[in-house]
């Protein structure tokens, strides 16, 4: 498939896209060349076995109002709620009426993934339900299909790889960066990165062969605890320098509010943003160094559907046209950012952006999730890969199908 490069052809393709039915438009761009299909099917959980033998007895639960029993189950974790359902028939009926059924239907692998990651915090049933019902990323506010298990919030792939606050560090790196004693680090609680070595946490993203994993600490939680102890980021850096050098200087006792920035990775971790960012800050040049690092946050996230209401799922899509643009053999990745002004205008990219910023934005477009209306608007205005597929499909149908 050849991508459009003529202004007249691009204008024709945009006219075709705007005149097409949204269902037909999404069907054409659903299976592009050079793009592997993405399986996002939801596994439906199995109901409880009615022939199971109950060994424990909690007494007569009929004396309690159903609302009180449901409130108790909502504040249990999933494992405890399932154990409670094995007590007697009344307990089984209460659990079936609670949010556990909602979790088993839409995210049946969520409790198992929490157990594999060894998350120290035991999330309640209502917290898991609210995470499934949430729609937007905690950092950028865009639609996200991934749930970050560390904090049980929605976080898109872009933000998990882009912002240092969503990364994890080993115990040695945590001590060097945040100057926390061992008892405070133990209170934070580590998580288990499956298949990762300690040297692979920040150096590269490769997974070792026959490696069980390593224990790591989330930067967001660790930085929040260090801010409570020291009061400012500059004080954290001062304490870390004292531990590293062993020099006790009275001047270091003065707490400053400024954030020190240097070439060391520890300063980057201490300067991580904990507050949500606006979409306008996504492509700033401040975080371009992320391409030299890696994040294991994706290993502690699962793909779960968005169910904002009772049983109605919100369908979101990733643009296959942007994926096809990146995987096309004629596209050379190091030169992606060196588009001319005309091509930037077709892609709806600000012409004042540098080559690195343009490269960053084009590479992250396949990971952005959109609703049906947002996807149709994206294809009609700024997706060069989708417009090329539409023009090729209509041109193959005959000259009369194009309308020109």
Ramachandran region, residue 305 (left: φ > 0; alpha: ψ -120 to 50; beta: rest): beta
- Would you state the structure tokens that stand for residue 155, as one six-digit string? 């976080």
Ramachandran region, residue 152 (left: φ > 0; alpha: ψ -120 to 50; beta: rest): left
Euclidean distance between CA atoms 236 and 257, whole angstroms: 11
Q: Write the secondary structure of the chain as one string of H (helix), E (strand) and C (coil).
A: CCCCCCHHHHHHHHHHHHHCCHHHHHHHCCCCCCCCCCCCCCCCCCCCCCCCCCCCCCCCHHHCCHHHHHHHHHCCCHHHHHHHHCCCHHHHHHHHHCCHHHHHHHCCCHHHHHHHHCCCCCCCHHHHHHHHHCCECCCCCCECCEEECCCCEECCHHHHHHCHHHCEECHHHHHHHHCCCHHHHHHHCCEEEECCCHHHCCCCCCCCCCCCEEEEEEHHHHHHHHHHHHCCHHHHHHHHHHHHHCCCCHHHHCCCCCCCCCCCHHHHHHCCCCCCCCHHHCCCHHHHHHHHCCCCHHHHEEECCECCCCCCCECCEECHHHHHHHHCCCCCHHHCCCCCHHHHHHCCCCCCCCHHHHHHHHHHHHHCEECHHHHHHHHHHCCHHHHHHHHHHHHHCCHHHHCC
Does the pTM surpass 0.85? The reply is: no
**What residues pair up with 191 in beta bridges, in sequence order?**
216
Is residue 214 a contact partner of residue 201, using CB atoms and an 8 Å limit?
A: yes
- Tell me, what's the pLDDT at 151? 81
Radius of gyration of the chain, Cα coordinates, nearest whole angstrom: 25
Question: What long-range pairs does 375-379 form, CB within 8 A, spacing at least 24?
Answer: 375/26, 375/317, 375/319, 376/22, 376/25, 376/26, 378/319, 379/17, 379/25, 379/29, 379/319, 379/321
- Would you state the structure tokens that stand for residue 318, as one six-digit string? 């990733």
150 by Cβ neighbours in 10 Å (0-12 / 13-18 / 19+) ranks as buried
368 by Cβ neighbours in 10 Å (0-12 / 13-18 / 19+) ranks as buried
- Written as tens digits, the pLDDT of the chain (404 aa) is 566 666 777 787 778 778 777 777 777 777 555 444 444 444 444 554 544 444 444 555 666 778 888 888 899 888 888 888 888 888 888 888 888 988 888 888 888 888 877 777 788 899 999 989 888 888 778 888 888 887 888 888 777 776 777 777 778 778 878 888 888 888 887 777 665 555 555 444 444 444 556 777 888 888 888 888 888 888 888 887 777 666 554 444 444 444 443 334 566 666 666 655 444 444 444 443 333 333 444 457 778 888 887 678 888 888 877 777 776 655 544 455 566 777 777 777 777 777 767 777 777 777 788 888 888 888 888 887 778 787 777 766 655 444 43
- Tell me, what's the pLDDT at 403? 42
- Among all chains, which residue has been given the structure tokens 């059924």? 101
- Tell me, what's the pLDDT at 62? 63
- Tell me, what's the pLDDT at 279? 40
- Tell me, what's the pLDDT at 250? 44
- Tell me, what's the pLDDT at 343? 72
- Tell me, what's the pLDDT at 296? 44
| Bridging pattern class, strands 191-194 and 213-218 | antiparallel
């Amino acid at each position: 498939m050849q991508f459009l490069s003529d202004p007249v052809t691009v204008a024709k393709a945009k006219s075709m896209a705007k005149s097409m039915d949204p269902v037909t438009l999404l069907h054409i761009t659903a299976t592009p060349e050079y793009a592997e299909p993405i399986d996002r099917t939801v596994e439906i959980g199995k109901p409880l076995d009615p022939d199971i033998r109950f060994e424990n007895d909690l007494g007569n639960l009929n004396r309690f109002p159903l609302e009180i029993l449901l409130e108790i189950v909502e504040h249990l974790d999933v494992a405890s709620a399932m154990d409670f359902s094995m007590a007697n028939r009344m307990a089984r009926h209460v659990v079936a009426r609670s949010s556990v059924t909602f979790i088993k239907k839409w995210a049946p692998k969520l409790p198992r993934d929490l157990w594999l990651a060894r998350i120290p915090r035991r999330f309640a049933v209502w917290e898991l339900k609210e995470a499934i019902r949430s729609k937007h990323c905690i950092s950028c506010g865009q639609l996200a299909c991934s749930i970050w298990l560390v904090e049980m919030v929605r976080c898109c792939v872009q933000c998990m790889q882009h912002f240092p606050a969503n990364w994890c560090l080993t115990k040695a790196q945590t001590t060097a960066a945040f100057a926390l004693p061992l008892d405070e680090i133990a209170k934070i609680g580590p998580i288990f990165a499956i298949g990762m070595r300690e040297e692979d946490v920040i150096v590269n993203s490769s997974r070792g062969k026959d490696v069980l994993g390593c224990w790591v600490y989330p930067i967001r939680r660790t930085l929040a605890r260090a801010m409570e102890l020291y009061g400012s980021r500059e004080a954290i850096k001062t304490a870390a320098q004292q531990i590293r050098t062993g020099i006790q200087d009275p001047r270091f006792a003065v707490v400053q509010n400024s954030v020190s920035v240097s070439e060391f990775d520890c300063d980057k971790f201490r300067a991580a943003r904990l507050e949500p960012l606006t979409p306008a800050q996504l492509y700033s040049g401040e975080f371009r160094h992320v391409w030299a690092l890696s994040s294991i946050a994706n290993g502690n996230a699962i793909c779960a559907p968005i169910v904002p209401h009772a049983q109605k799922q919100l369908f979101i899509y990733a643009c296959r046209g942007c994926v096809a643009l990146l995987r096309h053999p004629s596209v050379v990745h190091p030169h992606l950012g060196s588009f001319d002004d005309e091509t930037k205008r077709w892609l709806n990219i600000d012409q004042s952006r540098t080559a690195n910023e343009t490269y960053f934005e084009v590479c992250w477009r396949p990971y952005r999730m959109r609703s049906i209306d947002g996807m149709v608007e994206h294809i009609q205005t700024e997706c060069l890969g989708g417009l090329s597929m539409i023009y090729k499909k209509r041109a193959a149908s005959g000259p009369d199908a194009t309308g020109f």
